[in-house]
Structure 1
Amino acid sequence: MIKQLVPFIKDLYQTNDFIPLHAPTFSGNEKEYVSETIDSTFVSSVGKFVDDFEKQIENFTGTAKAVATVNGTAALNASLYMAGVRHGDIVITQALTFVATCNAVNHMGAESAFVDVSPVSLGLCPKALSVFLEQYAVATDLGPIHRETKQRFQAVVPMHTFGHPVELNELIEVCREWKIALVEDAAESLGSFYRGQHTGTFGDFGAISFNGNKIITTGGGGMVLCKTLESGKHTKHITTTAKVPHPYEFFHDEPGFNYRMPNLNAALGSAQMENLQNFIDNKRQLANMYLDFFKGTEFEFVTEPDYAKSNYWLNAVICPSHKEREKLLKQTNAEGVMTRPIWQLMHRLPMFKNAIAGNLSQSEFIEARLVNIPSSPVNFSSTL
């Protein structure tokens, strides 16, 4: 099968040149809007495209208020701050995630604790979360605290891995039972829906990324999805240095962040949003073609859960063994087709090696076998 994969992918993309894992697509008004921004001279954080981009995200996701930030990590950092995470707290997340999830926790002076993922979603497992809290936490009127250290468990952060939504209803139930905030790391899941509702809109806050490799890009950028208009206004305030509006005075009424997205980036994002649905449709078609290719082999293509509609941001395949994973990675990359293993589990990294962790057997299984394969939108009209 591995020998057939490279020619299959090269045929999909109609090229013998190097094929990246996920490249941005600029096929609309990107140049026009960016040029308009340059001509206006409003290239920094003040300009019409920031407001326009936030409104586009609000309309698409159904969130009460969207707040643009300089990158996805800043969006998650602001989300955690707004959810009450402070120095010394513990934030529960998955070990199978990109390091930015834990970096955002660390920036708050908080600590990450790691829970296993579900084979259904590749994201935080609600059963594992419940077991973890029973083992390590004591319930109080103000929420759970660690049995030994008495630190607060202030938030749970599931990540929608590769755009596939986690089991949100079940996670919400556990968080409600334990009186703990839910913050969604939706960095990869713009355009993904859980039971008809957009990811990032279930928790108290959600964070989206617009890095260059995401389904749409602003070059660098992020967005906080806020559950209420009031919390959205406060999030906007703290991410813009907490400056109180005034014609000329500089007065800041609380500690704030300089997380503002430049208008130049927002212009790119506004143009990208005009093609988002096309990108989603295209990527779902690509995923179906991969699914057909791997059908009947020992390699399991990762599909969306039954309850979800995924953007299929990064396509992935689970190999029958670690040895087969290594063979796939070496052969495809040697032949100019970029593939990548999933991230190393967070508790294996030196800065998180002493973190609290539950049983991570499912995470370890996936880490040893999963490979991401090229996922850029395809020009299917040229392949038909």
Structure 2
Amino acid sequence: MSLSDQVLAAVRAALPACEGGVSLHEPEFRGQEWAYLKDCLDTGWVSSVGAYVDRIERDLEAITGAAHAVATSNGTAALDICLRLAGVKPGDEVLVPTLTFVATANAVAYQGATPHFVDSEAATLGVDPVRLDTYLHQTARLNGDVCLNTRTGAPIRALMVMHVFGHPCDLDGLAEVAARWKLVLVEDAAEGLGSRWNGRHVGNAGLVSALSFNGNKIVTTGGGGAILTNDAELGRRAKHLTTTARVPHKWSFIHDELGWNYRMPNLNAALGCAQLERLPDMMARKAVLARRYAEAFRDVEGVRLLTPGAGAEVNHWLNALILDRPDMATRDALLEALNAAGFMARPLWTLMHRLPMHADCPRDDLPVAEALEASVINIPSSARLAEA
């Protein structure tokens, strides 16, 4: 059998009752979604103020362990504010993985700053702390408490890391590198709700972090996100900036600085509250599906399933296959075969340094990320598939 035939057989073995039209990841509404949305409509609280907005923030604090959560209109808005809170200014550089979704790099550009691309490690798909530290010794120097790029002269203000498919980065190693080089650590935890590193929920290692609740995430609000922080003043400021910097008053419209209308509507928050109630159940079923895939692919040569490393507890948001030997032609042949058979599959995002708007940004050599780009395929991962 060809590798494509073997992969198709393994997917069919893991999903014996599914054939044709299987999505990559779809939302699931089995709880109080209808009741909470009806409550919004019945009471008229449908916009950006309401009890469900307050509730989803408290629920997120309870789930993640973060001291402060601020709901936003989407994950990209959350990233935008995270970088502002981190002190990123025009002319700065921010270290980001080239292997990430485009919002990570775009949020840096929104500040008038420059993304500075770094490599990933094969085990977690996240930023490699050892390689990053070596690269900074070659590329940067400390001037007091400021890390400077010796080639461009620009301050390197922050390190933004991303938890790919819900697999946590090596947060301990990355926090050490950030501290050594006087960088603010920011976590793009858009895909990480429910995932933990050494027992601690992702989003707590950095000064600030961002979550996403897009329609394809493990928990959805339709469109939405959140900012997490353990700093009380930053939590207050995040709320202020995302609500147009309006000074609270019964009727006056006084805005004391430039702010953004990044508020999550009560309707979206209501949907999210119902979804969060079912997060443990969805994660449990997604873990069952991941184990089923692991069994199905156990004897398939030439490809492996991405599995959590030591210290990582993952939410199994998206299951991923990794070719033993990077090869775009083989990767694309597998994508063609899976999608033609009705099993939606996708590759990694195009690496950020290949995109035209980021092509001239500074970067390290990126051999691991480039190999992963030619190796990784996501396969159907909806929680309901555990029941197939």
Q: Under a length normalisation based on structure 2, what TM-score does the superposition of the two structures give? A: 0.96
Alpha-carbon displacement from aligned partner over 1:283-337 (angstroms, at most 9, x marks no partner): 1111111111111322111001111100111100112342321221111111111
Q: Quote how far apart the aligned CAs of 1:271 are.
A: 0.3
**What is the aligned partner in structure 1 of residue 45 from structure 2?**
42
* Counterpart residue type for residue 57 of structure 2: E
* Matched ranges for 1:226-305 at <5 A: 226-297=229-300, 298-305=302-309
CA distance in 2, matches of 1:165, 1:270: 24
1:117 corresponds to 2:120: yes
Structure 1 ranges of 4+ moved more than 6 A: none
Alpha-carbon displacement from aligned partner over 1:240-282 (angstroms, at most 9, x marks no partner): 1111111111111121111100001000000000000111111
- Asked whether the 8 Å contact 2:10–2:297 carries over to 1, the reply is no
**What is the aligned partner in structure 2 of residue 352 from structure 1?**
358
* Counterpart residue type for residue 181 of structure 1: V
1:76 corresponds to 2:79: yes
Alpha-carbon displacement from aligned partner over 1:22-44 (angstroms, at most 9, x marks no partner): 00111101111111111111111
1:15 corresponds to 2:21: no
The runs of 5 or more residues in structure 1 that have no matched partner are none
CA distance in 1, matches of 2:133, 2:314: 25
* Matched ranges for 1:35-184 at <5 A: 35-184=38-187
CA distance in 2, matches of 1:151, 1:347: 19
* Counterpart residue type for residue 114 of structure 2: E
* SS, match of residue 69 in structure 2: strand
Change in Cα spacing, 1:23 to 1:374, as seen in structure 2 (3 Å) is same
CA distance in 2, matches of 1:307, 1:193: 8
Alpha-carbon displacement from aligned partner over 1:84-117 (angstroms, at most 9, x marks no partner): 0111110101001110101111111111001100
* Counterpart residue type for residue 381 of structure 2: S
**What is the aligned partner in structure 2 of residue 364 from structure 1?**
370
Change in Cα spacing, 1:119 to 1:47, as seen in structure 2 (3 Å) is same
The runs of 5 or more residues in structure 2 that have no matched partner are none
Q: Quote how far apart the aligned CAs of 1:135 are.
A: 1.9
* Counterpart residue type for residue 308 of structure 1: A
**What is the aligned partner in structure 2 of residue 376 from structure 1?**
382
Alpha-carbon displacement from aligned partner over 1:3-58 (angstroms, at most 9, x marks no partner): 25445545627233401110011110111111111111111110000000011000
- Asked whether the 8 Å contact 2:20–2:341 carries over to 1, the reply is no
The CA RMSD over aligned residues, in Å, is 1.4
Q: Under a length normalisation based on structure 1, what TM-score does the superposition of the two structures give? A: 0.97
- Asked whether the 8 Å contact 1:206–1:224 carries over to 2, the reply is yes
* SS, match of residue 320 in structure 2: strand
- Asked whether the 8 Å contact 1:156–1:181 carries over to 2, the reply is yes
**240-249 vs 190-199, which deviates more?**
240-249
Q: How many residues align?
A: 382
Change in Cα spacing, 1:153 to 1:13, as seen in structure 2 (3 Å) is farther
- Asked whether the 8 Å contact 1:202–1:227 carries over to 2, the reply is no
CA distance in 1, matches of 2:330, 2:158: 37
Q: Quote how far apart the aligned CAs of 1:379 are.
A: 5.2
* SS, match of residue 357 in structure 1: coil
* Identical counterparts, % of pairs: 46
* SS, match of residue 382 in structure 2: coil
* Counterpart residue type for residue 105 of structure 1: V
1:310 corresponds to 2:314: yes
* SS, match of residue 16 in structure 1: coil
- Asked whether the 8 Å contact 1:211–1:220 carries over to 2, the reply is yes
**What is the aligned partner in structure 1 of residue 332 from structure 2?**
326
Change in Cα spacing, 1:73 to 1:13, as seen in structure 2 (3 Å) is farther
Alpha-carbon displacement from aligned partner over 1:130-167 (angstroms, at most 9, x marks no partner): 12211221202232012133211111011001100001
* SS, match of residue 132 in structure 1: helix
